[in-house]
Structure 1
Amino acid sequence: MITLWQAVLIALVAVLTELDGNIFGENKMREPIVTGFLVGLILGDVTKGLVLGAQMQLMWMGATAIGPTAGLDIGTGGTVGAAVAIATGTGLESAIMFGVPVSVIMQFVNTLLMAAYSGVMLEADKAIEQLKITKLTALHWMCVLLSAIKTFVLIFMLMYLGGDLIDAIVGGLPDWVSSGLNGIAALLPCLGFALLMSIIMDGSMWPYFILGFVPAAFVGFDLNMVGMAAVAVAIALIIWQIRSEQQVVAAQTVAVADDDEWED
């Protein structure tokens, strides 16, 4: 059972994830590994909070908003997921069951709020044109305060007023649902890695990926022929890339020199 003050503190952690990236800069306070630790500290089980945070971090590694694609509110989702799992004495399956829907719903609420702020932006434009800095500052902090209040109220109500409902839902889960959620928990980290790699990887990065993967894969084990061959291939690819770039530069230099001769 989550107490009143625990619900308040958990809601403040969710507010912290809302403000991170907006007024605090990009400090990664919204990441599940951070919120899991903070929630574990509040609920008296830091170890479990860190473990849950790390598991959800793997799951959400690739949850990145690109262009017009809406991402997930992983800050509130990770906070709520860790809180529910610790409070009910369950594991990652409960964190996923509550964290993922909350992250989707909160992202939808955030989108509605951003749309509502479009009217405020018109007033901000007018304040800039009229050089009313005080008014512009007030509009900015008004939006920040509304966003913080929105997150605090929703998460507090869920944590404190919905505690009995959460306990009833978790306690009433049949075995096949728990097994299915455990299966999803095992697959989602793989999906997170795949999404992340599809975003950041291109052909030129593969040698460096291999050089980073091999030491991690052989920690605590002797490096065998497969690992040495992989490192050799990565080094060969890097040398080939460097020489290819040098040839391109040399060709461009010759082309520029030829153009200069024609001009003379």
Structure 2
Amino acid sequence: MLSYLFITLIIFFGHSEDLLGTTLLSRPLVLAPLVGWALGDWQQGVIIGASLELIFMGNIKVGAAIPPDVVTGGVLGTAFAIISHKGVGIALALAIPISILAEMLLSALFVTRSVFNKTFTRYAETGNWRGVQRLHVLSGFVKPALMALVGFLALQLGAGVMKAFLDRIPAWVNTGLQVAGNLLPALGFALLMNLLFHKRVAPYFFLGFLLAAYLKMPIIAIGGLGVIIAFLVTQEKPRPGEALDEENGDGGYEPATAEPAAEERAPALSKRDLRRIFWRSMLLEANFNFETWQNTGFAFALLPVLRKFYSTKESMAAALQRHLQLFNTSTYGCTLILGLTAAMEEQNSRDAEFDAESINSVKLGLMGPLAGVFDSLFWGTLKVIAAGVGTSLALKGNALGVVLFILLFNVPHLLLRYQLTFIGYKTGTRFLMQLSKNNVMDRLKDGAAILGLMVVGAMPATLMSIHTPLSFGEGAGLQGVLDQIVPALLPLGLTFLTYYFIRRGVKTTALLIGLLALGFLGSILHWII
């Protein structure tokens, strides 16, 4: 019984990663050795963990699509394998179906968590920052507590009963759920479009899609191209009354009538304040849900700043409501946006004429591009390198592989995340000092929208897998015809259909259930694969 309690605590710890900054401490390579230690065979745990890590290496959360739960599956698979003395084989056989079953519970949790949003909204309207903070943290413990309970009950039932139960789930149910999961990212993309999409910058969405669908450019490359395009498009052109600066001889422009420089004021935030933002950013996804994603985590991280700048309930209420709008980006690059937002909030508190709406415009415009860049960098590059080094040693039973995996990923992750907090704030402060004499904010808003829409436009073509097996008799298949018209037409069409319903006022939860039903029924009827 004591070993079962230890394993339950390991599941709790693994699912607490949303409170620990996505530091990959939930990976099988890390948790399986702990299970082995709890059961008296840590070396077998190291080997099983390495084997499971290779299988689940590609498991990442994209948009609203939740991958199989590697924590519950990995821990229970390892435990049952060691208890039964069956080795790696039974661990692999059990881990995958358990992960899929646990994924259903997590998806249900992320849907039902949305009921907290009304309470968060009520707290924000009254300026109750303590309520926002408390509920955000408490919500973060719901997932680890729920999954730990599930794990403990599974251990009590035993491996035989668990496997028999999982085997009773028909294959068509698992297939239907997998297809339904492939459709869910359309909701996330449509929500982003609802925030960024307007007539002036709409063409850049389609540019991003075409680059991904036809040229197969990766998102990180499209994001880089988007930066260049946004920079070129938003370059300030000379206005009437400005004269060429011939004295400099560099082709630059200066106002014909010089204006007095804006008064520079010392930054209001100290290093301690910025460090608090960094540490609080670790809880960005504590209350992750399918309706507003990371919004409460963003507000939670900014609370020390908001409390410093806004002393009245009215001003605090306005700030909380501003930051409880939908937000979703890479946890690894979130501190850059947090630092920049802190600088903008500082300016907003000082300048009565500052456009507070521009804070969200910039924030929402940057979250998509940064997600593409940092997720590609950390998930697609650094994690693969760390896992390659770690598993190569761990497969031989060497625990040093686990240590190297943690260090190779988290040393650069935490150092960069820490520095980005200061970079975002300092850049934002210098940048905002020019607002009095340049239309910088308008250009930044347009540039962020261009960059954001290009990345969002690429996502349906690269991150959604929707195909149809339908055919015209014995002739060409429908999918082939669609690909000849426009590659990735089905993901694009579904994204726009979801966007249409959002614009019509359909609730996010209803759309989520509708997409799940569409995918499940489409799989059963063999319309979608």
TM-score by length of 2: 0.31
Identity %: 23
1:43 paired to 2:39: yes
Residue 129 of structure 2 is aligned to residue 133 of structure 1: yes
Q: 1:73 aligns with which of 69, 73, 94?
A: 69
1:142 paired to 2:142: no
CA distance in 2 between partners of 1:161 and 1:103 (Å): 17
CA deviations on 1:122-150 (whole Å, 9 max, x unpaired) are: 21122123211222123223322322221
Q: 2:157 aligns with which of 149, 156, 161?
A: 161
In structure 2, C-alpha distance between the alignment counterparts of 1:6 and 1:53, rounded to whole Å: 18
Residue among 2, 6, 11 paired with 2:3: 6
Amino acid at match of 2:59: A
Native 8 Å contact 2:36 2:43 kept in 1: yes
**CA contact 2:6–2:38 (8 Å) conserved in 1:** yes
For the residues of structure 2 that align with 1:200 and 1:40, how far apart are their CA atoms?
39
In structure 2, what is the equivalent of residue 118 of structure 1?
114
In the TM superposition, what whole-angstrom CA distance separates every residue of 1:138-186 from its partner, at most 9, and x where no partner exists? Answer: 32233223222211111001112325636x96xxxxxxxxxxxxxxxxx
CA–CA distance in structure 2, aligned partners of residues 27 and 65 of structure 1: 14
Structure 2 CA distance, aligned partners of 1:201 and 1:142?
A: 35
Which residue matches 1:58?
54
Q: 1:200 to 1:64 in 2, by over 3 A?
A: farther
Shift of 1:16: 0.9
Cα displacement (A) at 1:106: 1.1
Gaps of 5+ in 2: 165-217, 222-380, 390-529
Counterpart for residue 239 of structure 1: none
Relative to its length, the structure with more helix (as a share) is 1
Rounded Cα–Cα distance in structure 2 between residues aligned with 1:138 and 1:160: 33
Check conservation: 2:35, 2:45, Cα contact below 8 A: yes
Partner amino acid for 2:33? F
Q: How far apart, in 2, do the equivalents of 1:131 and 1:106 lie?
A: 37
Deviation string 1:218-259 (CA, Å, 9 cap, x unpaired) is xxxxxxxxxxxxxxxxxxxxxxxxxxxxxxxxxxxxxxxxxx
Among 15, 24, 28, the alignment partner of 1:18 is 15
**2:14, 2:144 within 8 Å by CA — same for their partners in 1?**
no
What do residues 74-130 of structure 1 show as CA deviations (whole Å, max 9, x unaligned)? 111111111111111012221122111111111110111111111102211221232
Deviation at 1:65, TM superposition (A): 2.6
Over aligned residue pairs, what C-alpha RMSD do you find? 2.8
Q: TM-score, normalised by structure 1?
A: 0.59
Alpha-carbon spacing, 1:163–1:74, altered in 2? closer, same or farther (3 Å): closer
- Matches of 2:5 and 2:26, distance apart in 1: 17
Aligned residue-pair number: 173
SS at match of 2:44: helix
Q: Give 1:123's aligned amino acid.
A: T
Residue 46 of structure 2 aligns to which amino acid in structure 1? L
Report the Cα distance in structure 1 between the residues aligned to 2:15 and 2:63, rounded to whole angstroms: 20
In the TM superposition, what are the counterparts of 1:211-230 in structure 2 within 5 Å? none
Partner secondary structure for residue 64 of structure 1: coil
Q: Which position in structure 2 is the counterpart of 1:189?
A: none
Aligned residue for 2:52, secondary structure, equals helix
Deviation string 1:189-209 (CA, Å, 9 cap, x unpaired) is xxxxxxxxxx8998xxxxx9x
1: CA distance, partners of 2:87 / 2:42: 14
Closer, same or farther in 2 for the Cα pair 1:200/1:75, shift >3 Å? farther
Gaps of 5+ in 1: 170-198, 203-207, 217-264
Give the distance between the partners of 1:11 and 1:90, measured in 2 at CA.
Answer: 21
The residue type equivalent to 1:80 in the other structure is: L
Q: Distance in 1 between matches of 2:31 and 2:61?
A: 20
Letter in 1 for 2:158: G
- Does residue 91 (structure 1) correspond to residue 87 (structure 2)? The answer is yes
> 1:153–1:62: structure 2 CA closer, same or farther, 3 Å change rule?
same
The secondary structure found in structure 2 opposite 1:25 is coil
Partners of 2:63 and 2:92 in 1: CA distance: 26
Q: How many angstroms does 1:62 deviate by?
A: 1.1
Instruction: State the Cα distance separating 1:48 from its structure 2 match.
Output: 0.4
C-alpha change, 1:200 and 1:113, in structure 2 (3 Å) is same
Tell whether the 8 Å contact from 2:16 to 2:141 is kept in structure 1 after alignment.
no
Secondary structure at the aligned position of 1:70 is classed as coil
